[in-house]
Amino acid sequence: MKVLAPEHHLDFGAIRKDFPIFQQKAHGKPLVYLDSTATTQKPIAVIEALVHYYRTYNANIHRGVYAIAEEATARYEQVREKVARVLGARSPREIVFTRGTTESVNLVSNAWGRKNVGPGDVIVLTEMEHHSNLVPWQILARERGATIRYIPFDGQGRLDLSGLDALLEGPVKILSLTHMSNVLGTVNPVAEIARKAHARGALVFVDAAQSLPHFGVDVRQLDCDFLAFSAHKMLGPTGVGALYAKREYLESMPPFLGGGEMIREVRLEGSTWNDVPWKFEAGTMNIADTIAFGTALDYIEHIGFEAIAEHSRRLTTETMGALGEIPGVTIYGPPASERGGIVAFTLDDIHAHDVATVLDHEGVAVRAGHHCAMPLHAKLGVPATTRASFYVYNLPSDIEVLVEGVRKAKQVFHR
Amino acid sequence: MSLDDFYRQTILDHYQNPRNWGTLEKPDITAQDSNPLCGDEIRIDLKIKDGKVEAVRFSGKGCSISRAAASMLTEAIEGKTLDEVKLINRDDVLDMLGIELGPVRLKCALLALKTLKVGVYGVQQSWPGEEDEG
């Protein structure tokens, strides 16, 4: 890892200029983009890397022996090395490219789950999971006759671990949880939970879709067995993500998708599989987007995860302070010091869609709804929340526009 | 479209003072539905006499667009025959609201109509927004 520049040496105003989307307006006003939890904007370097591939060395990987095919293959595999280094994996062969977090979860729930989870077995999840880390396990549990237990969260949006020992009793095969809630922003003590789960013989799957972009992860420090993330939530293109898995599990897992590239030898009587991780990369992969994601990782590393975390914490603290002063605003989740750059709130009984529509007319893009976390919202007792989330291109001036917009929403609906 | 145009006074009025709000005792027709995307829920009760809508009530929770659309729709069907109610389509609802809507808010606007159609036909019909594709 390169030495990180101290945060105050970084000019986030200059960083914003690297993102061409902010040159246009929304409803005639400057775009204030506060929906990075859904997907982040892309710096010009990433967009150019994508175009550069198509313009100069577009070729399929792992097949051709001609120059551009070899260049494409090399650059694609370099990204795998980069991801392995960023995550602290032991080897690039522990990194499988997928379409994103959702596919990574489905890969494990299918390939590992169908082989290792049987009738009466237990899967442990939490009540704050995104549907992508909930539904694949429900499908597996139903198919295999397994049961699911949920770690609850408390009124502050923190996991309640007082009953964890009891939840881990019996034939628990896997515990899967989010590292950082996409609604509450809560950062969960994954390493501590993983230690307990491992002591009971369960494997641990970590959804790092939010945590990796916001503060980086170290798979060896977390000691997780599987970890998933999406490139598009960290300045990269859509349609790319990865699964980290300890090599021993990748070796013992059957393939997920069958097809080209994932095989060693195909005969009409049957086939044998390629080495890991290619055993799990059937068909032509998302080459251009993966290579451009490598550029996104370079960009992020240049800023540094520490600086990013510090920047979003500052914006989060400011937002929670300013919104908290508006009567009728309820903010969900823990204090700013315990969360990543996400603030979900409600405003009196005004529906989140109405708040978001007023904000949209001020040029502010926020998410309104259940954010793919219906059980979490059921527990909060609200059908929908409005969510503002931050990344490297956001500035304190964005928060001012947001807060002004929320005040305006109150005026519109309470006049 | 400006914010004031979007939240026209009539929409805010129907949102804040919904017409025909509540439920009916022993309704002849009752239908409920929800929009999973935003958690909107609606129930519509109808009292039918001589083939006509004698009374209508709606209740539930939702955004201003979904509630205003429901309120306007209930006003529009009072006294109408069931055959006339069946003829009401998405454009009628959008005309009542008088605003342009994107695909997400369109579902808010049409939730009441969808629920009403389920009630009067007694079966699930196609989503009103997809009529054109049928």
Residues forming beta bridges with residue A141, ordered by sequence position: none
Which residue in the set B6, B15, B38 is minimally distant from A384, CB to CB?
A: B38
pTM, two decimal places: 0.91
B132 Cβ contact list (under 8 Å, min separation 6): none
pLDDT at A383: 86
A6-53 per-position pLDDT tens digit:
444 589 999 999 999 999 888 899 999 999 999 999 999 999 999 999
Cα separation, B16 vs A134, in Å, equals 37
Contact assignment for A383 to B105 by CB distance below 8 Å:
no
* Averaged pLDDT for residues A176-186: 97
* Averaged pLDDT for residues A77-94: 98
Which residue in the set B12, B38, B41 is minimally distant from A353, CB to CB?
A: B38
* Averaged pLDDT for residues A367-396: 93
Token pair for A79: 């990204």
Contact assignment for A412 to B105 by CB distance below 8 Å:
no
Contact assignment for A383 to B12 by CB distance below 8 Å:
no
CATH topology of domain A7-42+305-413: Aspartate Aminotransferase, domain 1 (3.90.1150)
Cα separation, A188 vs A183, in Å, equals 13
Work out the pLDDT band at A186, boundaries 50, 70, 90: very high
A87 Cβ contact list (under 8 Å, min separation 6): A95, A212, A217, A218, A219, A227, A244
pLDDT at A20: 97
Task: Please tell me whether the peptide bond between A277 and the residue prior to it is cis, using omega within 30 degrees of 0.
Answer: yes
Cα separation, A81 vs A78, in Å, equals 5
Residues of A designated as active site: 372
B58 Cβ contact list (under 8 Å, min separation 6): B18, B20, B21, B22, B42, B43, B44, B45, B70, B71, B74, B112
The CATH number of A47-301 is 3.40.640.10
B119-130 per-position pLDDT tens digit:
998 754 444 555
Token pair for A78: 């370099």
Pairing of the two strands B40-49 and B29-35: antiparallel
Q: Which residues of chain B have pLDDT under 70?
A: 123-134
**First CA to last CA distance, chain B:** 30
pLDDT at B130: 52
* Averaged pLDDT for residues A140-154: 98
* Averaged pLDDT for residues A121-139: 97
Mean pLDDT computed over every residue of chain A: 95
pLDDT at A415: 65
Distances in Å between the alpha carbon of A204 and those of A142, A179, A217, A335? 20, 11, 15, 27
Tell me how close the Cα of A402 comes to any Cα of chain B, in angstroms: 16
Contact assignment for A413 to B12 by CB distance below 8 Å:
yes
pLDDT at A9: 57
A374 and chain B in contact, CB less than 8 A? yes
A20 Cβ contact list (under 8 Å, min separation 6): A44, A47
| Residue positions counted in chain A | 415
Contact assignment for A353 to B39 by CB distance below 8 Å:
no
Contact assignment for A353 to B15 by CB distance below 8 Å:
no
Within chain A, all domains assigned CATH 3.40.640.10 are found at 47-301
Token pair for A228: 């998933």
Of A146, A30, A131, A96, the closest CA to residue A274 belongs to A96
Work out the pLDDT band at A163, boundaries 50, 70, 90: very high
| Chain A residues within an 8 Å CB radius of B36 | 374
Which residue in the set B6, B37, B61 is minimally distant from A357, CB to CB?
A: B6
| Chain A residues within an 8 Å CB radius of B40 | 351, 383
CB atoms within 10 A of CB A18: 17
Work out the pLDDT band at A298, boundaries 50, 70, 90: very high
CB atoms within 10 A of CB B42: 23
* Averaged pLDDT for residues A232-236: 98
Q: Give the rounded percent of residues in chain A with a pLDDT score beyond 90.
A: 90
Amino acid at A372: C
Nearest CA in chain A to B109: A353
CATH topology of domain B3-121: Sufe protein. Chain: A (3.90.1010)
Within chain A, all domains assigned CATH 3.90.1150.10 are found at 7-42+305-413
Which residue in the set A353, A382, A415 is minimally distant from B63, CB to CB?
A: A353
Q: How far is Cα of residue A157 from the mean position of the Cα atoms in its chain?
A: 19
A361 and chain B in contact, CB less than 8 A? yes
Q: Give the rounded percent of residues in chain A with a pLDDT score beyond 70.
A: 98
Element (H, E) at A33: strand A32-33
A266-282 per-position pLDDT tens digit:
999 999 999 999 999 99
Identify the three-state secondary structure at position A275: coil
CB A205 within 8 Å of CB A184: no
Q: Is the ipTM of this complex over 0.85?
A: no
